[in-house]
């Protein structure tokens, strides 16, 4: 078959002519671009039984190249193994590139692939004063109780509540109590728990002028401030209640007292959270230390600088019933340095999600999915960029400056403190 097709292939027939009669002195003398690709390999080319060989590898005519690649890929052995196998038996110009492109376009391989190399660590911006950015999270349940953690990013000052309920009402009540003592923070960082994604919680943040930031689902590293403290809390309570049936409020207060008064290497000048919370300025030394931590992370994980832009085709890591899969999507826009808004097309409807860059891989196939063949419905765009916010009722006894008015059409763009309500999945 290859012999018959070689005789029909115009490019290979020119190559045969050059092998038999001699190659030009310079590649520029060859007019056919496809023939010119063989010039660099001319010393290794020969004709055997009217077929072109490169060493002991047969040169495959153009017509059979895709069929040969499919044969090499029948076991989905991966890009490197396919290239190794191809280098043992076949040759044509850019065969490695064709193999790589074929593997990238294989949907089965793409959906079963490992997670991509971690992107370079992008730490949160350095907070320069107390209560500038606050991280929140729930720990537990521990013996029937949940622990609501409120952590100041600047001073590492923790506030802690023990509660049997973690619904939106209980969460807002605990935040109100804390903010009544220390004032409202500029930014509030949470995960995608239902108590934080509810419309009522969005209204609470908007009415108090708080910029609510939500991390990507299933990426706890993004809310590392609260996550690390939760881990310290669990271990601390376990030690304090050793030999007793369960932790008590006294144990919790003891843990908080010790933690707040103990020097912390991540606070300004490595002071205690209590000292830093009283107003010590952030030092240049601490900023340099954070940069050093980023560099160490990048070296340890072999992290690479990665980014996506609008309309890039991607696979997105999705979790359902304790199972992870890669779902095709398309990038809508970038949110911050490492988070992206992505549209997914599933079972006849479109869905917008927030995803961390380490949960995304490039998608090279040419197949389309529903999200690429339809315009985004207006209601989805409005949910993303202008979430419905019910204006807070203004108490006549309270100065008007204490409540942010709801924006009107004449006010221009929606302020950044109005965060999108995304599908927590």
CA distance 13 to 7: 6
| CB burial of residue 393 (10 Å; 0-12, 13-18, 19+) | exposed
The pLDDT value given to residue 332 = 87
The pLDDT value given to residue 347 = 54
Q: Do residues 33 and 10 lie in contact, with contact meaning Cβ atoms separated by under 8 Å?
A: no
Give the E-state strand segments of 181-312 in sequence order: 187-190, 211-214
Of 210, 184, 196, whose CA–CA distance to 354 is shortest? Answer: 196
CA distance 69 to 62: 12
The pLDDT value given to residue 174 = 93
| CB burial of residue 306 (10 Å; 0-12, 13-18, 19+) | middle
Query: Which 8-state DSSP code applies to residue 415?
Result: P
Number of Cβ within a 10 Å radius of residue 172: 17
At residue 248, the 3 state secondary structure works out as coil
The pLDDT value given to residue 416 = 36
Q: Do residues 19 and 13 lie in contact, with contact meaning Cβ atoms separated by under 8 Å?
A: no
CA distance 329 to 185: 35
Q: Do residues 181 and 160 lie in contact, with contact meaning Cβ atoms separated by under 8 Å?
A: no
Q: Do residues 327 and 316 lie in contact, with contact meaning Cβ atoms separated by under 8 Å?
A: yes
Beta bridge partners of residue 145, listed in sequence order: 142
The pLDDT value given to residue 377 = 46
The pLDDT value given to residue 301 = 64
The pLDDT value given to residue 199 = 92
Element (H, E) at 48: strand 45-48
- Give 365-372's long-range contacts (Cβ < 8 A, gap of 24+): 365/104, 365/105, 365/106, 365/107, 365/110, 365/313, 366/105, 367/107, 367/328, 369/328, 369/345, 370/345, 370/346, 371/329, 371/330, 371/343, 371/344, 371/345, 372/313, 372/330, 372/345
Residues 6+ apart with CB under 8 A from 357: 119, 306, 307, 308, 338, 339, 340
- Residue whose entry in the numeric block shows the structure tokens 């029909």: 8
Instruction: Using 50 as the pLDDT threshold, list the residues of the chain that sit under it.
Output: 222, 281-284, 346, 367-425
The pLDDT value given to residue 169 = 93
The pLDDT value given to residue 137 = 87
Q: Do residues 131 and 148 lie in contact, with contact meaning Cβ atoms separated by under 8 Å?
A: no
CA distance 85 to 107: 21
Beta bridge partners of residue 356, listed in sequence order: 339
CA distance 140 to 284: 37
CA distance 364 to 304: 19
Element (H, E) at 316: strand 313-320
Q: Do residues 350 and 370 lie in contact, with contact meaning Cβ atoms separated by under 8 Å?
A: yes
CA distance 48 to 64: 19
Query: Which 8-state DSSP code applies to residue 389?
Result: -
């Amino acid at each position: 078959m290859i012999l018959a097709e070689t005789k029909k292939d115009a490019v290979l027939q020119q190559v045969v002519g050059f092998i038999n009669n001699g190659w030009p002195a310079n590649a520029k003398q060859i007019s056919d671009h496809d023939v010119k690709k063989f010039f660099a390999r001319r010393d290794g080319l020969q004709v055997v039984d009217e077929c072109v060989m490169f060493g002991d590898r047969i040169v495959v005519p153009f017509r059979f190249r895709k069929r040969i690649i499919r044969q090499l890929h029948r076991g989905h052995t991966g890009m490197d193994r396919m290239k190794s196998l191809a280098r043992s038996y076949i040759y044509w110009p850019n065969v490695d590139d064709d193999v790589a492109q074929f593997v990238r376009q294989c949907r089965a391989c793409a959906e079963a692939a490992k997670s991509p190399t971690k992107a370079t660590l992008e730490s949160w911006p350095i907070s320069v004063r107390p209560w500038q950015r606050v991280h929140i999270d729930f720990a537990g349940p521990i013996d029937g109780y949940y622990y609501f953690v409120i952590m100041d990013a600047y001073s590492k000052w923790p506030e802690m509540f023990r509660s049997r309920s973690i619904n939106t009402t209980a969460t807002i009540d605990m935040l109100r109590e804390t903010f009544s003592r220390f004032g409202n923070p500029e930014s509030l960082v949470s995960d995608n728990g239902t108590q934080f994604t509810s419309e009522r919680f969005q209204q609470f943040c908007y009415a108090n002028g708080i910029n609510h930031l939500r991390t990507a689902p299933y990426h706890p590293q993004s809310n590392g401030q609260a996550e690390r403290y939760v881990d310290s809390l669990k271990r601390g309570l376990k030690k304090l209640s050793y030999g007793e049936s369960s932790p008590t409020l006294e144990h919790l207060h003891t843990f908080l007292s010790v933690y707040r008064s103990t020097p912390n290497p991540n606070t300004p000048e490595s002071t205690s959270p209590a000292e830093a919370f009283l107003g010590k300025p952030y030092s240049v030394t601490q900023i340099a230390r954070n940069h050093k931590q980023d560099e160490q992370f990048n070296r340890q994980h072999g992290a690479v600088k990665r980014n996506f832009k609008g309309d890039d085709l991607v696979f997105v890591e999705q979790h359902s019933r304790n199972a992870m899969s890669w779902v095709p999507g398309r990038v809508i826009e970038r949110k911050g340095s490492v988070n992206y808004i992505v549209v997914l097309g599933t079972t006849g409807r479109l869905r917008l999600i927030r995803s961390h860059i380490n949960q995304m891989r490039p998608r090279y196939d040419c197949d389309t999915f529903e999200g690429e063949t339809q315009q985004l419905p207006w209601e989805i765009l409005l949910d993303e960029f202008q979430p419905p916010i019910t204006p807070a009722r203004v108490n006549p006894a309270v100065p008007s400056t204490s409540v942010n008015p709801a924006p009107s059409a004449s006010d221009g763009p929606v302020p950044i403190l109005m965060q999108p309500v995304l599908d927590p999945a």
